[in-house]
Amino acid sequence: MKRYSRHIALSEVGLLGQLKISESKVLVIGAGGLGAPLLLYLTAAGIGTIGIVDFDTISLSNLQRQVLFREQDLNLNKADIAKARLRARNSEINITSYPVALSTSNALEILKTYDIVVDCTDNFRARYLINDACVKLNKPFVFAAIYKFEGQLSVFNYAGGPTYRCLFPLPPKAGEVPNCEEAGVLGVLPGILGAYQANEVLKIILNIGEVLSGKLVSINLLTNQQKSFQFKKNKPLIKQVIQEELSYIELNDCKITHEKKH
């Protein structure tokens, strides 16, 4: 516990808070731009069990922002390498890597043993799948998404709060929203948003501060402006998601990344 003395010194955390952190199980889906800083901070904080889902392999252009990886990691699986890099930083916690794509056939199985899910993916197909699986399993999930110099942040399905579909019921059409490869991204942007996600995870576990439920925060790094927009729950839609089978959305934004090379 000496390791976490700076947490324990905070009256809002204390020994009990650090114990809660060590008992929590967090699943991170996506070990890329957002996942890297998030995973580093969750590991440093001592989250007891961390799961990492990512089918992708590390490519050169990833190194501009995916700060968990090194040059010698190129072409290796992101989840497996993330696990290795994180273990070197904290050997006391349990880390499991799932070097697979999240799908309708494995999502419920993988998510069910975790307390909190973090969406660090880069496409709408995955995001809607995560939403629907979390709604079905009644898990909160911490969301962030980025575009060039801007980010969006929220916590969905937390303590009866609204979900991603309450905000955006339907996915956009294919090609409507470019991904980072097409649009470009300032490397530090996911660095900041991923850290914000780690902050929300810790607030949920420790039950301190105001968890960003029912609010979408919009961040602009060029202007340093931050705005918060409230939104409501769509109860009939939530009910529909619970009742229907987990399915892939028909239309997706970027080309499915495991079908293309970076």
Partner 1 sequence: MDVTLTYYGKLVEVVGKSQELIDVQAITLRELVLWLENEYPDLKKLSLKIAQNNAIGELEDKITSKNIDIFPPFSGG
φ, ψ of residue 14 in degrees (nearest 5): 65, -175
187 in contact with partner 1 (CB under 8 A): no
Strand pairing of 94-98 and 49-53?
Answer: parallel
Q: Identify which of residues 33 and 99 has a Cβ nearer to partner 1 in the complex.
A: 33
Cα–Cα dist 101/33, whole Å: 17
Q: Identify which of residues 90 and 152 has a Cβ nearer to partner 1 in the complex.
A: 152
Q: Identify which of residues 113 and 225 has a Cβ nearer to partner 1 in the complex.
A: 225
Which residues are CB-neighbours of 6 under 8 A, at least 6 positions away? none
Name the minimum Å distance from CB 142 to partner 1: 12
Among 111, 190, 206, 238, binds partner 1 (CB under 8 A): 190
CB 15, CB 8: distance < 8 Å:
yes
Give the interface segment with partner 1, choosing from 39-47, 89-97, 108-116, 228-236 (CB under 8 A).
228-236
Contacts with partner 1 in 110-169 (CB under 8 A)? 119-124, 127, 144-148, 150-152, 167-168
170 in contact with partner 1 (CB under 8 A): yes
Cα–Cα dist 32/136, whole Å: 26
CA 95, 96, 102: angle at the middle one, nearest 5?
135
82: its two tokens: 């993330």
Name the minimum Å distance from CB 31 to partner 1: 10
Q: Give the count of residues interacting with partner 1 (CB under 8 A).
A: 45
151: number of CA atoms within 13 Å, CB side? 27
φ, ψ of residue 122 in degrees (nearest 5): -130, 20
Contacts with partner 1 in 25-64 (CB under 8 A)? 30, 32-35
Torsion 174-191-262-129 (CA) sign: negative
Give the interface segment with partner 1, choosing from 5-13, 91-99, 104-112, 178-186 (CB under 8 A).
178-186
Q: Identify which of residues 93 and 241 has a Cβ nearer to partner 1 in the complex.
A: 241
Alpha carbon 141 to its chain's center: 7
Name the minimum Å distance from CB 234 to partner 1: 11
User: Which residues contact partner 1 (rule: CB under 8 A)?
Assistant: 30, 32-35, 119-124, 127, 144-148, 150-152, 167-168, 170-173, 176-180, 183, 185, 190, 216, 218, 220, 227-232, 253-254
